[in-house]
A and B are shown apart, each in its own frame.
Chain A
Amino acid sequence: MTDEKPFIDVRHAQKRFGDLEVLKDIDLRVNKGQIVAIIGPSGSGKSTLLRAINDLDPLSGGEVWLEDKQVNKQLPPRQYEKHINKVRQEIGMVFQHFNLFPHLTVRQNITLAPKMLKGISDAEANQLAEAQLAKVGMSERIDFYPSQLSGGQKQRVAIARALAMNPKVMLFDEATSALDPELVEEVNLVMKALAAEHMTMIIVTHEMGFAQSVCDRVLFMDEGVVVEEGPPEVIFKNPKHERTRNFLRKHLAG
């Protein structure tokens, strides 16, 4: 690894649910502009690790840093609430099931948080929504409700919504897993465009092809540990570990 200070730094991440250890002392460092894929079988802890980065699933032990700020700082509840809301504005997140707000239009989905949290005017918010939707190719659906969109369109709106907060990093939690196969590509294209703009991204995915073509680095996780990590050409072409090979055999074949 370079001597560059990591942009995101997860140190000794541990997570327990009762007796079950989901994350066992994991380290993850991501530099600015880097795109990291986390792959692994279901139950390997990859989503839990991702959700620890914005403290949605707080760690049982370990630290998460974004630049010079500790995300999972121990604070009294009220101060923590203030702190985490600030930090989360800088960390965009995209979910498997989109989590768009069904009672709001596409425009309102995007403008809600910027208007409430950044105090921008309606006109500015509208401009912002239009700009972000143009980016994901959804301009003509600005006044639709989520229920009127296809899965792929919903996910593109969800990405636009996250980007409207101007985050420093984007987390993708199986963003295309809930989509019909023919809708996956449109979301992948949006993510590739983001990659081309050097957005820092951490992507939990089951799509090996996408991970291979877009990411700078791939982590293979299994049973709460990082089994192997490296550049995609090494992980996918020449993995060192038996577990990685087994996993890839199943996934690349199927």
Chain B
Amino acid sequence: MGLDFSVVPGYLDTLLLGSLWTISIMLVSALISFFIGILLAVIALYAPAIIRYPFRLFAFVFMGTPLLLQLFLIYFGLNQIGIDLPAFVAGVIGLGLHFAVYNSDIIQAGILAVDKGQYEGARTLGLSRGQTIRKIIVPQAVRTVTPPIGNNMVALLKDSALVSVIGVTELTLSAQLAISNTFRPFEFYVAAAACYYVINLGLEYGLRKVELRIQAAR
């Protein structure tokens, strides 16, 4: 059986729809991972031990176990105890939390890298701890952490293929559906790879824009 890419255009709509799902998963999980990441970082650095330790355990579990397993647990495992999440929701929660833990590590380092004088400068004006963290420390940390978080988002995009196994018809599963109709794995996996690449280009373009905007205010 030779290669025949002429079958691909017939499934373009399938692949496009899959791409749109992949993009949605990426965007929603990225947002979750970003905001939960900030929250986790602030808790890890500033919360009293009684709150900090449970969250540290949470972070440890999410960082130390496979993402695939986490997705299974959130989708099939929770279903068993009566929490019936749609596959898309389960997928973005899994991806979002998993990458939130990585983002949190980056953000913690970014916060710690802000000069101590910034904290003192704000506190001597009468700002509270919370106000100082929100208005002075976090905005500055955001600058240093955007590039590594951007890298994380690229990894997130690629790992979003894992949610195909819980039945979200994103790009990888769409390609598989096309393959099961045509029995042409090479053509459709290459086509899907090309789609991922294009999405990645778009993501990197977007990230660069964000970075430039954030750095402009220096």
Q: Say whether, besides A81-B129, A112-B135, A91 and B124 are in contact (CB < 8 Å).
A: yes
How many residue pairs at the A-B interface have CB separations less than 8 Å?
Answer: 64
In the docked arrangement, what's the CA distance between A100 and B218, Å? Answer: 12
B121, B126, B135, B136: which contacts A95 (Cβ < 8 A)? Answer: B121
A107-119: CB near B (< 8 Å → 1, else 0) gives 0000011001100
Q: Say whether, besides A103-B139, A103-B143, A116-B135, A56 and B120 are in contact (CB < 8 Å).
A: yes
Please tell me if the beta carbons of B127 and A103 are within 8 angstroms of each other in the complex. no
B119: nearest residue on chain A (CB-CB)?
A99
Which residues of B (124-146) have their CB < 8 Å from a CB of A?
124-129, 131, 135-136, 139-140, 143
Please tell me if the beta carbons of B136 and A116 are within 8 angstroms of each other in the complex. no
Please tell me if the beta carbons of B140 and A102 are within 8 angstroms of each other in the complex. yes
Q: Say whether, besides A116-B135, A145-B218, A101 and B125 are in contact (CB < 8 Å).
A: no
Q: How large is the interface on A (under 10, 10 to 19, 20 to 34, 35 or more residues)?
A: 20 to 34
B118, B127, B218: which contacts A117 (Cβ < 8 A)? Answer: B127
Distance from A158 Cβ to chain B, minimum over Cβ atoms (Å):
8
Q: Does A97 contact B (CB under 8 A)?
A: yes
Number of interface residues of B (CB under 8 A): 21
Distance from B139 Cβ to chain A, minimum over Cβ atoms (Å):
5
Q: Does A86 contact B (CB under 8 A)?
A: yes
Which residues of B lie under 8 Å from residue A54 when comparing CB positions? 124
Q: Say whether, besides A95-B117, A95-B120, A116-B135, A103 and B126 are in contact (CB < 8 Å).
A: no
Which residues of B lie under 8 Å from residue A95 when comparing CB positions? 117, 120-121
Please tell me if the beta carbons of B217 and A81 are within 8 angstroms of each other in the complex. no
Q: Does B17 contact A (CB under 8 A)?
A: no
A56, A81, A102, A112: which contacts B218 (Cβ < 8 A)? Answer: A102
Q: Say whether, besides A99-B120, A102-B218, A147-B218, A161 and B125 are in contact (CB < 8 Å).
A: yes
A99, A117, A165: which contacts B121 (Cβ < 8 A)? Answer: A99
Distance from A131 Cβ to chain B, minimum over Cβ atoms (Å):
17
For the complex with contacts A102-B218, A116-B135, A161-B125, 11 further pairs of A-B residues with Cβ separation under 8 Å are A85-B126, A86-B126, A88-B125, A93-B124, A95-B117, A103-B139, A103-B140, A112-B135, A113-B127, A147-B218, A162-B125
